[in-house]
Structure 1
Amino acid sequence: MKPQIGIVTLGVDDLDRSLAFYRDGLGLPTKGITADDFKGDDTHAAGAVVMFHLEGGLTLALYPRSELAKDAHHTIGAPSSTEFSLGYLAGSKGEVDQILNQAKAAGATLTDAAHDRPWGIYSGYFKDPDGHLWEVIWN
């Protein structure tokens, strides 16, 4: 296995709401919901997904939690915001503040206001509408 990650998929409760948050609220470019012609059933996952092609070659995907569980053949579990966080590297302290404000205006919950950390970074956290934790960092 090569030391790389190509796709991060977030399980979401409401695909339309999450699309609006990331596309309209945060400004990430996307073609919107695709593959919605694959309907799925009780045991086979439906196809509706949202893809954001990010800088550096990484893709952020949004996929309904129920369908992700079916696709992985795994029991759906309770969501937890503290299992992992996604990080955005900002170019300045001002950009950290701007992105946190933008996320809040789009419907995010700020969990920790931006401040200087003892290890030399300036950062703050928000949760998206599905509870996924993001840290916005300037170093």
Structure 2
Amino acid sequence: MKPRISVLTLGVSNLKRSLSFYRDGLGLPTKGIIGQEFEHGAVAFFDLSGCLKLAIFAQGNIAHDMGRKLSGLRGV
């Protein structure tokens, strides 16, 4: 099996503002923010070249998924 990356995930400080930047500023295709009905579930996916996707999560939500405090992620 050859290693490959299919999703690149970023934690962002403001999900709505970051959605606007990647969608409106860079023109990346997206269905917008999904998963808002779930606590800590809001995410936006963007289709990049090939099968690569960019996912953006609010920093607090990605910290929750990792079982870490947000303050422990600064500078990582």
TM-score normalised by structure 1 residue count: 0.50
* Partner SS for 1:9: strand
**2:41 is aligned with what amino acid?**
G
Give the match for residue 75 of structure 1: 69
Q: Which runs of 4+ in 1 moved over 2 A?
A: none
Q: 1 CA distance for matches of 2:41 and 2:75?
A: 21
The structural deviation recorded for 1:75 is: 3.1
Do the aligned partners of residues 49 and 9 (structure 1) sit closer, same or farther apart at CA in structure 2, a change above 3 Å counting? Answer: same
List aligned pairs for 1:12-91, cutoff 5 A: 12-38=12-38, 40=39, 46-76=40-70, 77-79=73-75
RMSD: 1.4
- Structure 1 alignment gaps of length 5 or more: 41-45, 81-139
Question: Greater RCO between the two (CA within 8 Å, min separation 6)?
Answer: 2
Q: Max radius of gyration: which structure?
A: 1
Aligned residues: 74
Q: 1 CA distance for matches of 2:16 and 2:3?
A: 33
